[in-house]
Each structure stands twice: as C-alpha cells, then as structure tokens.
Amino acid sequence: MLEELDYNPGTINIRVSTMRSFVRYCYEDKGWIKETIHQRFKLVKAPIDNVEAFTLEEAHRLIGWVDDTTYTGFQMKVIMYVLLDTMVRIGELVEIKHENVELKKGTIMLKGDASLYWV
C-alpha cells in the first residue's frame, strides 16, 4: 500500500489495525483460524504530527475579531471561550444541553464516551 498505491502511513495503519482486529476475532472468538497470525501484523512508521497551539496573542486576536454585537457573533465568542477554557472537544460541545449548564456554579456537565463529568 505504501509504494504501489502511495497511501499515507496513517491510512495504512488504520487498515492494518482493522485487519488485525478482525483476524484476532476470527482466531479468539470464532476459532476459524488455528494460529495467531494477527500478531504478525505490524504498523507502518508514521511521522508524528505536532499540533501547535495558539499563542496567547493569537487567541486574543481571534476572539477580538468576532463582532459580538450580533447574536451570531456573541454565540461564536461564547463557543470560543468555552473551547479555550475547558479544552472540550467539538463533539462534546455540540451535545451540551441547557439542563447541563449550571451558571451559578460556573460548571458544565459534559457527556463523554461512557461517563458524565463536570468542567
């Protein structure tokens, strides 16, 4: 996949992991495979992506750019502040319900993978 199809190492690793999981399932749960061939599946070395965070100045410039005199602008500014203050994921942010926000306590209850937690 790397040389012939020119796939990205990340794409290859996702496919190898999926195949390894399926072959392990066939071996351990179903007994369709008699030897542990899934252990021979190796991931391709992929370069580590370093994601640079905003500097304080960049965050201030970004927030200052938003026109909060409109409803949409105010909403955008609140979203930015929540993202920066809590480091919440976008998917968790859009799942926040009115009843999960405690303004007097200054907390938000987030629904994670299998748990609830407060920020």
Kindly compute the dihedral angle of the four CA atoms of residues 23, 27, 28, 34, in this order, to the nearest 10 degrees: -160
CA atoms of 81 and 64, how far apart (whole Å): 12
Q: Residue 114 pLDDT > 50, yes or no?
A: no
Average pLDDT over residues 27-39: 88
| The pLDDT of residue 64 | 93
| The pLDDT of residue 75 | 93
The pTM of the full predicted model, rounded to 2 decimals, is 0.52
Over residues 73-98, the pLDDT tens digits come to: 999 999 999 888 888 888 888 888 88
Residue 112 — very low, low, confident or very high, per pLDDT cuts 50/70/90?
A: low
Task: Enumerate long-range contacts of 87-94, CB under 8 Å, 24 or more apart.
Answer: 88/119
CA atoms of 3 and 30, how far apart (whole Å): 34
